[in-house]
């Protein structure tokens, strides 16, 4: 019966394809869980291989190294079994006949659940019932839940590979409450921690009772190891509010992206809109000593003074005058482009990652100078609307009162709503205007539509952003291909 189990959960921040480092983290977590009496230990889906190994998972050398890491890990284990996931070949070795057409391609890696015991490795079938520790258990990686093969399953283990997005926690709680009640089983859902490419993984691994309530939850955006007794009927604390999770996600995303790419800190343009918020988030992520503000005028120094960060100010009046004379005409794009070029060069000399403070509203409407405000390697706010920016300012306002001053709500919610409906929900302008719940001005809808279409090419030149929206709402095709209605 499952109630005798003490489940150990390893929630680690594995680095992509860094098998030795990840192996050490798992072994340390395993031993810590053993010290607290665990008799079944579960790691996250990406605990060994890291998130998004991309083309590496299709290389035979990577798959061979992964199998060697699993074998090494199994030798380190005691009597307590460990469940985790790793990449395994989709097809076994195949003898190719070059004279015949081939129906099966070369081996590709697929994330697969494994049961490891002392010196033994068992590859598990997803949602196939198996007896472990006198308990009927099934393991699932695919986040689209399927019914277990055995109706009498007592414990469902979900090794989630889905990145975090706004609203993910409440949606997951609702989903697994239903799964637990529907199957009259305890559900354990584990999550990876850290940023990989443009995605963020939140941690917050949880255990759900048969009645659907959350029994326990691990910290969000932090590595942690914890042992939970299934005999206990305690309830987990409520998850943080959405704006707090968003703030923590951005901090983790900034920290991991900067460090994983070998930079010592960040620099940012203090003259740009929302530079104050981006600077505050960067300080929370990296510390004051690793954040440098740059500007082309003394006016922006109030941000650096309020935050007590290093500031570099270089007036460009003389350079602008010479460039204007060279061009033979004045240009509004000269200042932001020259400023960006100098700041980016200064950042590279200091080993800093230069950040852009562009938001989603600015990006989707093309309200920026290409190679000006968009200059940088990374735009952490690039997936945020004006309301998101406002909520983050509110959340940080007490700690950074001298920086933000008196906060006012954005005047224009309508533009953000139009962008969201057209770009995220894939609603055409004509269909949007026919909705009667919140009537919109046709001229404004058409204007935003034209701006989104016209800025499509500019958006291909942008730095990397952090994804905090739902995966199903991310643009998969250039919007210009489907908005000419």
What's the pLDDT score for residue 484?
A: 56
Considering the domain architecture, whether residues 65 and 130 belong to the same structural domain is answered as: yes
CATH number at residue 439: 3.40.50.620
Residue partners of 87: CB distance under 8 A and separation at least 6: 49, 53, 57, 62, 63, 66, 109, 110, 111, 112
CB 221 within 8 A of CB 252: yes
Considering the domain architecture, whether residues 269 and 286 belong to the same structural domain is answered as: yes
* Global confidence as pTM: 0.90
- Write the CA distances from 160 to 44, 88, 385, 437, integer angstroms: 7, 17, 28, 36
What's the pLDDT score for residue 478?
A: 53
Q: State the burial class of residue 419 (Cβ atoms within 10 Å of its Cβ: 0-12, 13-18, 19+).
A: buried
Considering the domain architecture, whether residues 285 and 269 belong to the same structural domain is answered as: yes
Considering the domain architecture, whether residues 372 and 466 belong to the same structural domain is answered as: yes
Residue labelled with tokens 């559900």: 187
Domain boundary among 222, 239, 256: 239
Considering the domain architecture, whether residues 224 and 268 belong to the same structural domain is answered as: no
Domain boundary among 239, 261, 286: 239
What is the DSSP secondary-structure string of 108-124?
-EEEEEEEEETTEEEEP
317-327 and 334-349 are packed helices; what angle lies between their axes, rounded to 10 degrees?
Answer: 120
Provide the domain count of the chain: 2
Considering the domain architecture, whether residues 304 and 170 belong to the same structural domain is answered as: no
CA distance 184 to 176: 11
CA distance 201 to 192: 6
Q: Within 13 A of 444's CA, how many CA atoms are on the CB side?
A: 13
Residue labelled with tokens 């010479």: 322
What's the pLDDT score for residue 222?
A: 95
Considering the domain architecture, whether residues 334 and 234 belong to the same structural domain is answered as: no
Residue labelled with tokens 């010592």: 264
What's the pLDDT score for residue 280?
A: 96
Considering the domain architecture, whether residues 235 and 250 belong to the same structural domain is answered as: no
Considering the domain architecture, whether residues 414 and 461 belong to the same structural domain is answered as: yes
What's the pLDDT score for residue 94?
A: 47
Grouped pLDDT means (10 residues each) for the chain, 485 residues: 84 92 96 95 94 81 92 93 91 51 60 92 89 91 66 89 91 92 93 91 95 94 94 86 95 95 94 93 96 84 88 81 76 84 93 96 92 94 93 93 83 86 84 81 89 89 91 64 54
Structure confidence by residue, pLDDT tens digits, 12-68: 999 988 999 999 999 999 999 999 999 999 999 999 999 888 778 888 888 999 999
Considering the domain architecture, whether residues 104 and 235 belong to the same structural domain is answered as: yes
What's the pLDDT score for residue 424?
A: 84
Q: State the burial class of residue 190 (Cβ atoms within 10 Å of its Cβ: 0-12, 13-18, 19+).
A: buried
Considering the domain architecture, whether residues 262 and 234 belong to the same structural domain is answered as: no
Considering the domain architecture, whether residues 86 and 22 belong to the same structural domain is answered as: yes
What's the pLDDT score for residue 317?
A: 75
Residue partners of 17: CB distance under 8 A and separation at least 6: 49, 50, 53, 56, 62
CATH number at residue 225: 3.60.110.10
Bridge partners of 224, per DSSP, are 11
What domain range is 438 assigned to?
A: 246-481
Report which secondary-structure segment, H or E, holds 85.
strand 82-89
What's the pLDDT score for residue 106?
A: 53
Domain boundary among 189, 218, 239: 239
- Write the CA distances from 314 to 266, 301, 324, 355, integer angstroms: 18, 11, 18, 18
């Amino acid at each position: 019966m499952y109630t005798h189990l003490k489940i150990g959960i390893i929630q680690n921040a594995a680095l992509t394809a860094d098998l030795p480092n990840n192996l050490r983290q798992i072994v340390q977590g395993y031993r810590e869980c053993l010290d607290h009496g665990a008799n079944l230990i579960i790691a996250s889906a990406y605990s060994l291989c890291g998130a998004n190994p991309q083309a590496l998972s299709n290389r035979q050398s990577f798959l061979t190294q992964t199998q060697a890491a699993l074998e090494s890990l199994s030798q380190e284990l005691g009597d307590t079994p460990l469940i985790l996931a790793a990449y395994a070949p989709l097809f076994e070795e195949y003898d190719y006949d070059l004279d015949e057409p081939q129906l099966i391609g070369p081996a590709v890696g697929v994330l697969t659940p494994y049961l490891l015991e002392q010196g033994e490795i068992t590859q598990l079938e997803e949602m196939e019932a198996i007896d472990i520790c006198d308990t009927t258990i099934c393991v699932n990686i695919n986040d689209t839940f399927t019914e277990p093969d055995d109706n009498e399953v007592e414990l469902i283990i979900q090794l989630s590979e889905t990145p975090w997005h706004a609203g993910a926690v409440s949606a997951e709680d609702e989903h697994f409450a239903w799964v637990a009640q529907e199957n009259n089983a305890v559900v354990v859902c584990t999550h990876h921690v850290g940023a990989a490419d443009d995605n963020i993984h939140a941690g917050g691994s949880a255990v759900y009772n048969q009645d659907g309530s959350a029994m326990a939850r691990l910290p969000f955006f932090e590595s942690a190891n914890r042992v939970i007794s299934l005999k206990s009927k305690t309830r987990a604390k409520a998850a943080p509010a959405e704006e707090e999770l968003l703030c923590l996600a951005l901090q983790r995303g900034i920290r991991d992206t900067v460090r994983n790419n070998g930079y010592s800190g960040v620099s940012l343009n203090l003259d740009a809109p929302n530079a104050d918020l981006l600077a505050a988030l960067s300080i929370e992520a990296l510390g004051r000593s690793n954040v440098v503000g740059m500007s082309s005028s003394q006016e922006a120094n109030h941000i650096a003074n309020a935050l007590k960060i290093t500031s570099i100010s270089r007036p460009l009046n003389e350079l602008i005058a010479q460039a204007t004379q060279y061009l033979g005409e004045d240009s509004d794009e000269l200042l932001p482009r020259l400023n960006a070029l100098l700041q980016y060069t200064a950042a590279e000399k200091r080993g800093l990652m230069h950040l852009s403070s562009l938001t989603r509203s600015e990006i989707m409407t093309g309200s920026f100078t290409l190679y000006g405000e968009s200059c940088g390697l990374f735009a952490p706010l690039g997936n945020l609307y004006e309301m998101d920016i406002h909520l983050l300012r509110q959340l940080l306002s007490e700690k950074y009162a001298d920086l933000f001053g008196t906060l006012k709500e954005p005047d224009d919610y309508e533009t953000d709503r139009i962008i969201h409906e057209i770009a995220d929900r894939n609603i055409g302008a004509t269909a949007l205007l026919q909705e009667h719940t919140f009537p919109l001005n046709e001229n404004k809808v058409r204007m935003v539509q034209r701006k989104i279409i016209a800025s499509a090419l500019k958006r291909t030149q942008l730095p990397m952003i952090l994804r905090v929206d739902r995966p199903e709402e991310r643009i998969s095709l250039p919007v210009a291909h489907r908005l000419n209605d």
